[in-house]
Structures are given as C-alpha cells and as structure tokens.
Amino acid sequence: MAFQNINIGNIANDGTGDDLREAFVKVNNNFADLDQRVVIQADGENLGTGEGVYYVKTGNNMQFKSLIAGDNVSFTATANDITINAPDPIKSIQFNADTGTYSLAATGSIDLLGGQNINSTITGATTTFNIDPVNLVQQDTSPTLGGALDGATNNISNVNRVTATEFYGDLTGHVHGHDMRIYVNALAKTIFGTDYGLIVINTTNGFDLMFQATSIDYGTVASPASLVSNYGTVGTPL
C-alpha cells in the first residue's frame, strides 16, 4: 500500500485540509502498512555446553523446550525463577564388613581389594574375587583336613614323620631304624617255601628197602592224614 499523506491545508482552519477523522484514518493505515513491512530479525541461542532450552524460531515466535522433572526431582516456579529440587538425594552409603564399617560420601569411592592369596577383578558392573593357590597350603602352619585326602596317585615326598593309627599298602623304608628286608629274606628261608630236598634212607636190609620204595601220604595241611611218624629229634636222630 502506498503511503497516505495527511492534507493539512494551506493555513490553519482554512477548510482545505483533511478533517480530523480522515487524518487519523490515514494514520492507522500507514501504521498497519508499516507493521507488515517490518520483519523481526531477532533469534535465540543456547550458551554453554549443557543441554539447550531454545528450540527454533517460527515466524515471529521463538519456541523453547519444556523442562520435565525426572525421578526424585521437582520444579518450583516463580515470576522470575525456576528452582530444581531433589527431595531425597543420596548423601552417603554405609558399608558393613565382618569387622568395621565405612560411610562413603556421594562423591567418594571405595576400593575392593583382595587379601592374602585373593585377587579382585572388576568387569563392567561385576566384581569377582579369585583365590590364588600359590603357596596357599604352605602359609597355613596348622592345616587340618575335614575329610579324606585323595592324592590322585601322586607322591608325598620330603616328609619327616608320619603318625597314623593304621597303615595299608606296601611299605618301603626302615621300621624303628631297621631294614625289614633282612628279616623278610631270613623268614623266606625258614618258613615261606624253603625246599630242603628229599628224605633219603640208607638201605642196609630188606625192611629198609621196602620202606624206601613205599610212598607215605600224610595228606595236606588243611586235611592231614591220621599217620604219626617218629623220626627222633634233631639233636638225637634215629
């Protein structure tokens, strides 16, 4: 629309200019045209590195994001301020152990360390404690078994003294300082199957010849025959 000029006449009250109503109509039209011509160049901008609240400008409107309270958070708004409240913040966590306690502040940290022969590992949200078996038995100066010990066919070496109520199996070594192999060999010659040969009878007459030619069965140890032979004594043989 073209600019509308107000006719003020040649001199005051000469009746040639616009009347008062017509003059203000032109004023209103000129302001309406001016309002349509002016474009607002202002825009919003988020400052800092945090989450911005300004969103976009649409026409003459600047749009902003809304704030939504999350868990344990609330908003209090006044004419000039918005207050963010956390009603029940975690201020500290108390750790209780078998011996002693510890209160951890909200900004503090706690170490999970293994003790003797124990190693700790953290993977994500999982903490694992592993037992290191190296020299574990050696460090126990008074070990006690709670059940039978299975050696899995392995040897036990460098033992000073073994105290037991019973012993099963083969024994290698000395008993009370004596080598038992000497006694075993001696017993084998007297009891365990020593062959003394045959009983030879010198025949000097017919009766001796008949006796030598005749086999006498004395039975077995488990079932002996009912025969008794008297050969005298070792010191005074017949």
Q: 112: Cβ–Cβ under 8 A, 6 or more apart, which residues? A: 120, 122, 127
pTM of the model: 0.33
Tokens (6 digits) for 46:
């988020």
Q: 69: Cβ–Cβ under 8 A, 6 or more apart, which residues? A: 75, 84
pLDDT per 10-residue tile (average), the chain, 238 residues: 78 79 85 74 81 85 88 86 81 82 81 86 88 84 88 88 84 80 69 57 72 74 78 61
Give backbone dihedrals phi and psi of 122, rounded to 5 degrees, phi first. Answer: -115, 120
Q: What is the pLDDT of residue 162?
A: 83
Q: What is the pLDDT of residue 175?
A: 80
Q: What share of the chain is helix, strand, coil (3-state, %, to 5)?
A: 15, 20, 65
